[in-house]
Amino acid sequence: MRQTNRRLVITGAALAAVAIVFFLYMLSIAPTSNDPKALMQTVGQVSGVAVAIGIVMIVFGLKGKKPA
């Protein structure tokens, strides 16, 4: 039976949560920007990559490792 890596799961969930909060925060700041469309494109790409990395970390953490 594989053992789940709880640290990896928690870190991945935290990374995804921080990325979502960052996106929502930048969404509230975007109207004051000189170019809100370009700002949100960049923020969306960065947040998307961070969430994807978080999901991969969660999957690998839940997959776990074989006991020694």
Would you give per-residue pLDDT tens digits along the chain (68 residues)? 889 999 999 999 999 999 999 999 999 999 999 999 999 999 999 999 999 999 999 999 999 888 87
Query: Based on the structure, what is the number of domains in the chain?
Result: 1
Report yes or no on 68 lying in a domain.
Answer: no
pTM score = 0.88
Report yes or no on 1 lying in a domain.
Answer: no
Complete DSSP assignment for 1-68: -PBP-HHHHHHHHHHHHHHHHHHHHHHHHGGGSS-HHHHHHHHHHHHHHHHHHHHHHHHHHHH-B---
pLDDT digits (tens, 9 = 90+) for 25-39: 999 999 999 999 999
Q: Which residue has the tokens 């925060």?
A: 25
Tell me which residue range forms the domain holding 14. Answer: 6-63
